[in-house]
Structure 1
Amino acid sequence: MIPVTPAPGSWRALLPGLRGRLEKECILIAADTSWRCVSSGILGGGINEKRFFVNRQVHKDYDDRQPQREMIAFLTGAFPDCPIDQTTALMTAAWVSQAAWMQNRCGDIGLSVVVTAGVSNACAAGVTPCWEGTPGTGTINIMAFLDHHLTDGALINAVQTITEAKSRVLRELRICCAQTGDWATGTGTDAVVVAARPGGEPLEYAGPTTRLGALLAVTAGAAVRQAVQAYLSATGRREPKAKEAKQTKERT
């Protein structure tokens, strides 16, 4: 596994035909041709073909009522050479300068993962109460790029594997839901992109025990760990102890 953080403002090769650039408040990944991807991004979400992948940093008090329209305006001004219909974009209040960039390879499968993280909005899926208002700040955004063709089902399978790896790492780092004290499984605003190079015989599975899935889980997990630890260090936050306190109370 190789950390590959690019110098600000400079392109860095991530995979054949794929390069990344770190801007002051944005991460831009560009492919030479359209890659098949699945995205939960605020812009360009769904399963489709994209060439440009953006993770944009916004202020922690960002509260635009039409974030998709505002994102389009931002991208049009910042990256006029990136057509909106070929772009998917995520949004975060986490510092993109502290993103974790990782490359890994096993045989003919290579991948690159980029993660930004904040955990002040950590939640436990199925336990944390529903909140209908504006969500708190704190987001884990994961972008994964695979140097191999995948079926659409395998793309979704890869999202599942990444999510499981993320939740495992959050537990190992003792991140808890502030509202309930349960182990966090993510944050209330997490987003993910998985993009795969087109061409060749597609892989049909990306579960955690496949060769691709295992490589993806290890790499994404390492990137999540680095990004969360950078966030905790920068903010002076301690790893929460709420879960331990809850368990002790239940035992007594």
Structure 2
Amino acid sequence: MKEKQVDDDKNILQNLKITQSIEMIIVESPVLLKTLSSAIIGAGFNWVRTFVNRHVDKEYNYDDAEAEFKTYLSAKKIDFTETVGMMTAAKLEDVSFIQKNEKEFSVFVVVTAGLSNAVDASRSYYQNERRKTVGTINTWIFIKGNLTEAAFVQAMMTATEAKVKALQDEEVRDPVMKTIATGTSTDSMMIAGTQTGTEFNYAGTITSLGKTIGLAVYEATLDAIRSNRKRGVGQ
């Protein structure tokens, strides 16, 4: 595992560099951040400094998407060994950015939402496997704070619950089961911690950190869903 490269005197989140185009959203950190993600590139626990959300066509289909993505990043001169990389068919100009600053920590959330393959996880057992498509709600949560591994996992749980609540309130439906969707079949999520400042052992829904994560993810997901629907897509 790479060593932490952090500076407690900096507000690292304020120094993130964000580059946005119709092809990619790139967030670059001046230092390595500890991450937990379900991303195609950089899954699990890692130390990374570059975050890529790549737009792909809805018909994107590769037997080895990870290998294709690594080739793509290398062609863009992006070091995939220090990158979390996700894909989405959502229009990247509809991205939602939400920042919450508290006394002991800060939370910065980035969400893109494509709804074409919305699914109700509680009813997916009763469905035939669908043709793989890329729609995808991609969620990034950057936290200025020192999280234990348990807190990383709890932060992901809290963020997922907030995402589901946003889909519920927007009445996004599984097109097959006609019930309220809990996400899409290709959703991805990432938690990134600066590992500086206040230590957080927990990030459940009633902790100070969890409350802020929940609100930020909920607001960002609502905004991204609404932007998606303005285009006349999704449910």
Question: Hey, what's the Cα distance between the residues in 1 that align with 2:164 and 2:135?
Answer: 15
Q: Which of these residues, 48, 51, 56, is aligned with residue 49 of structure 2?
A: 51
**Larger Rg over CA atoms:** 1
CA contact (8 A) 2:104 2:198 kept: no
Tell me, yes or no, if the aligned pair for 2:137 and 2:184 is still in contact at 8 Å.
yes
Is 2:33 the partner of 1:31?
no
The amino acid of 2:165's aligned partner reads R
Rate the CA distance shift 1:210–1:179 in 2: closer, same or farther, 3 A. same
- The CA distance in 1 between the partners of 2:131 and 2:45, in whole Å, is 27
Shift of 1:186: 0.6
Q: Which residue number in structure 2 is paired with residue 21 of structure 1? A: 19
- Which residue among 68, 71, 95 is the counterpart of 2:69? 71
Residue 83 (structure 1) aligned with residue 92 (structure 2): no
**Whole-angstrom CA distance in 1 between matches of 2:87 and 2:12:** 21
Cα deviations by residue, 1:2-34 (Å, 9 ceiling, x for unpaired): xxxxxxxxxxx9823322211221011111111
Q: Provide the rounded CA distance (Å) in 2 between the counterparts of 1:98 and 1:170.
A: 16
- Unaligned 5+ segments in structure 2 are 1-10
Shift of 1:131: 4.5
Distance in 2 between residues matched to 1:44 and 1:76, nearest whole Å:
14
- Superposed CA deviations along residues 197-242 of structure 1, whole A, max 9, x for unmatched, are 02345211111111111111101110000100111111256x5xxx
1:113 maps to 109
Matched residue type, 1:65? D
Corresponding residue number in structure 1 for 2:223: 226
Matched residue type, 1:212: L
For residues 62 and 31 of structure 2, what CA distance do their matches in structure 1 show?
A: 32
Letter in 1 for 2:59: D
Aligned mates of 2:130, 2:12 — CA distance in 1: 38
Identity of aligned residues (%): 30
1:160 aligns with 2:157: yes
Q: CA deviation at 1:130?
A: 4.8
Match of 1:103 in 2: 99
**Contact persistence 1:14–1:20 (CA under 8 A):** no
| CA offset digits 1:118-137 (Å, max 9, x no partner) | 11111111312454453233
Amino acid at match of 1:94: A
TM-align CA RMSD: 1.7
> Is 1:178 aligned with 2:175?
yes
Task: Flag the 1:231–1:218 CA change in 2: closer, same or farther, 3 A.
Answer: same
Number of matched pairs: 224
The CA deviation string for residues 66-92 of structure 1, in whole angstroms up to 9 with x for no partner, is: 1111111111112x1x32211110111
Amino acid at match of 1:203: F
Contact 2:22 2:91 in 1 (8 A): no
Secondary structure, aligned partner of 1:195:
strand
Task: Provide the TM-score with structure 2 as the length reference.
Answer: 0.90
The equivalent of 2:39 in structure 1 is: 41
Counterpart CA distance in 2 for 1:24 and 1:180 is 32
Q: Is the aligned partner of 1:198 residue 2:195?
A: yes
